[in-house]
Structure 1
C-alpha cells in the first residue's frame, strides 16, 4: 500500500500555490508570466488544486528526471493519482493498470523500451520521408486554392495522424474514432470534468483498449509489416517481451505519441512564424535553417507542458522538502525558458546555439522514442507550407487553444495566404 502524503498547510494569500491554476483561460492562453515568476520567487511550490508540487527550473527538472529511484514514473500522465469511484468501476471492465513505456521505471521500462527500439530507427524513419512529403502535398492540394484554411484540422492533425495509422497498420478511415477515444483518455488524465463526463470518457477509454486488443490478436494469426505486429506478446506466439495488458497500453501510447506531439509542434511552430514574419522569410530563403528553427519552436512552445512523478521516499528539490507519497509536476515548458540555461529565454531566436538541450522530448531514460519522426514530419510540413503558401498570415477567426494540462496545443488555428 502506498504511503499517504502528509497534510500540507494551505498556501498564503497571493503566493504561487494559490495563483497557479493551469485550467484558467488566461493561463491556458499565456502561462509564461506565472512560470517566470515561479522561477524567480518560488521555483518549487505546492499546488492545492492539483495536490502536487510544481518544479519550474531547468536544472531541478533534469535532476528529478535522472533520479528514477526516488521519483517514479507511475501514473506520470494523470493529474490525479486515483480516479473517482464511478470511473474506477468502468475501468475495471478493461485494464485498470499496466506498464507503458512512459509510465514505468526500470527494470520494466528497460524491457518495454527494447521493444520500441525497433519501431523508430533512423533507417525506418528515413524510409518514410517520401511517403510523408507525398501526404503533405496531398493535404495542401486539398485547400491551396481557397486562400484560407484551419491549420489543425486540415494538416497539423491529419498528417501525423495518417502517418501513425499507416505505421500501426490500422485504416486511416478509423482515425476520427481513434482521435475521439484519445480525447477520452486525455479527459481522464485531467480528471477535472464533471463525474458523468468522466464516466463517459472511461467508457471510451475501455472501448479503445478492446479495439487494440482485437488488432493485436489479429496480428498473432496474420503478422504484418507494421508496429502492432511488433507488439504481439511472446505468450501468444509473438516476439515482444510484453503481457497483453502491456501490448494494449503501449499501442495506445504509440497512437498518442505518434500524432499528438507532432500536431502541437506544427501548429505552435506556424503560430510562432505568424508572430515573427521575418523568421518565416528567413526560412523561405534558406530552408537549411528549418531543423534548427524546429528545436527553437520546441523550446519556446514545448508541446508537452510537463509530466508527473510519484515520490517514493522523502526527498528535497531546490531546498524544498517533499514527503514520500506526494507527487511532483515537472514543468518542462517553464524549464525551457529558464534564463539560467537559455539567455533571454523568453525570446524566440532560431540562431541560438544551445537550443538543442531543451526538455520538449524529455531527458534520460524517458527521452521520446518518436522524436526523430516528429522532427521529420515538422521539417517536411514547414518546407511545403512556406514554399506553397505565399503571404502566409493569420485568418479572420481567432485561434483556440486546447485546455489540456499536459499539452500546449491548439484546437484551431485559422490561416490565410495569397491564393
Structure 2
C-alpha cells in the first residue's frame, strides 16, 4: 500500500477556490457518505462531529502511530520522536517537557510582551493607507512571538517563515518528490541554525523553552541536542502557521462572511475572544487529521480493519448541524462555539491552543483600536504554496483611522 495519502484525490478539488470553500462538499458527504472508504487512496473518511471527535480522542482505537502520512502534513525529525506520531504513555512524558510553557498561567506573563510585539508590527505600517492583513500582521506577529518564546532571535523571522513554507509544501503526487527535497533542505538548515543556540543555552540558560529543554530529564536522562532540535523545529513550525491562518481567517470572517462583525467588535473589544472561537469553528486553520485503526472495529457501523488509515475531517465536523445550530452561519453569539474540534481532542489536543487564542485576540484588538473602518479590495489572493492550499496569501484593505 502506498505510504502517502493525497487529500485532493479524495475531494476531487482542483482549484484554490474549492480548497478555500470546501463546505458544500462536506455537506454532501455528511448527508450521503458520513463514513466513506476511498478506494483509490485506500483510506476511511469520517465527516460527522461525533465520529470525528471519537477518532481524535480515542487513541486506543485510533492510534497516532501510522506508517502512512498525509501529503500535506510533515513529520518533523524522526517519526518515532514526533509528538504527533506518539500515543500515551510515551506521548504524555514527552509532551510534559514543554507543556508548562503553554499553560494559561505561564502565558499570562507573556501577555504584555505579545501586546508589545503586536504594537510594533502595527507601528511599521502606520503611514500606509493600504494594509495587507496577511503579510503585514498575520504572518509576522505569530512567528515573532514563537521565536521569542523559544529563545531564538526574533529578528530572523523572515528566514523562519521561508523554512516553514518549505516544510509544509509536500504537494501533489506530481510535485511530491521535489517538495520532499525542499523540505529536507529546510530541516537541515533549521537544525544547523538551532545547534549553536542550544549549546549557548546549555552553558547559560535563560527564561525560554529551549533553555528549559536543555535541563529537562526523561526517565533520568537529559535530552540530546538532536531531540531538542526536533522539539524546536516542531514548535517553530506549528507555533506560527496555525496562528497566521487563524488571524487571516478572522479578518475574512469579520469583513466578508459577516460584514457587521468588524464595527461591532471594534465597539466592544471584550467580545473578541469569543469571536475568535467562532472563527476557529467556521474556518478551521486545520481541516483534517489522520489516524491508524489500531484494532478491528465496527464502531461506525462498518467493518474497519487493524492497520487501515482514517481521516477525520475537522472542517466538516465544525459545520455539523447536529451539533451546532445553524452551523453554516457565522454567529458571534453562538453559545457552544468553543466545542469546535479545530485544536483536536483528547491527548493530542493542540499544545499551543492557549497561545494561538491569545495572539489572535491581542492582534485583532490592537488593530481595531487603530482603524475604524476597512474598505475591501476588489480581489484578494489564495496561496499557491502546495502545503498551504486553500488559505489566504494576500488580503489588502484600505484603512481609515
Aligned pair 1:55/2:36, yes or no?
no
Aligned pair 1:264/2:255, yes or no?
no
> How many angstroms does 1:233 deviate by?
6.5
Aligned pair 1:105/2:87, yes or no?
yes
Q: TM-score normalized by structure 1?
A: 0.85
Equivalent position of 1:11 in the other structure = none
Once superposed, what is the RMSD of the aligned Cα atoms? 3.0
Report if aligned partners of 1:46, 1:52 keep a CA contact under 8 Å in 2: yes
CA displacement 1:140-159 (0-9 Å, x = unmatched): 12223321111111111101
Aligned pair 1:29/2:11, yes or no?
no
SS of the residue corresponding to residue 342 of structure 1 reads: coil
> How many angstroms does 1:194 deviate by?
4.6
> How many angstroms does 1:28 deviate by?
1.2
Structure 1 residues 65 and 377: CA distance shift in structure 2, 3 A: same
Aligned pair 1:322/2:304, yes or no?
yes
Report if aligned partners of 1:75, 1:81 keep a CA contact under 8 Å in 2: no
> How many angstroms does 1:359 deviate by?
0.5
1:368 to 310, 328, 350: 350
Structure 1 residues 352 and 272: CA distance shift in structure 2, 3 A: same
2:267 to 278, 285, 297: 285
Report if aligned partners of 1:307, 1:329 keep a CA contact under 8 Å in 2: yes
Equivalent position of 2:229 in the other structure = 248
CA displacement 1:151-184 (0-9 Å, x = unmatched): 1111111011101111111112322222222222
* Unpaired stretches in structure 2, ≥5 consecutive residues: none
Distance 2:27 2:357 in 1: 27
CA displacement 1:201-246 (0-9 Å, x = unmatched): 32222332343344323322222211111222667x9998645443
Structure 1 residues 103 and 233: CA distance shift in structure 2, 3 A: farther
> How many angstroms does 1:247 deviate by?
2.5
2:61 to 51, 62, 70: 70
Equivalent position of 1:12 in the other structure = none
Number of aligned residues = 396
SS of the residue corresponding to residue 329 of structure 1 reads: strand
SS of the residue corresponding to residue 322 of structure 1 reads: coil
Distance 2:242 2:182 in 1: 25
> How many angstroms does 1:190 deviate by?
6.6
Distance 1:81 1:272 in 2: 24
Distance 1:144 1:131 in 2: 20
> How many angstroms does 1:95 deviate by?
4.7
Distance 2:255 2:387 in 1: 24
> How many angstroms does 1:338 deviate by?
0.4
> How many angstroms does 1:292 deviate by?
1.0
Q: TM-score normalized by structure 2?
A: 0.89
Report if aligned partners of 2:278, 2:330 keep a CA contact under 8 Å in 1: yes
Report if aligned partners of 2:243, 2:360 keep a CA contact under 8 Å in 1: yes
> How many angstroms does 1:46 deviate by?
2.5
Distance 1:240 1:414 in 2: 50
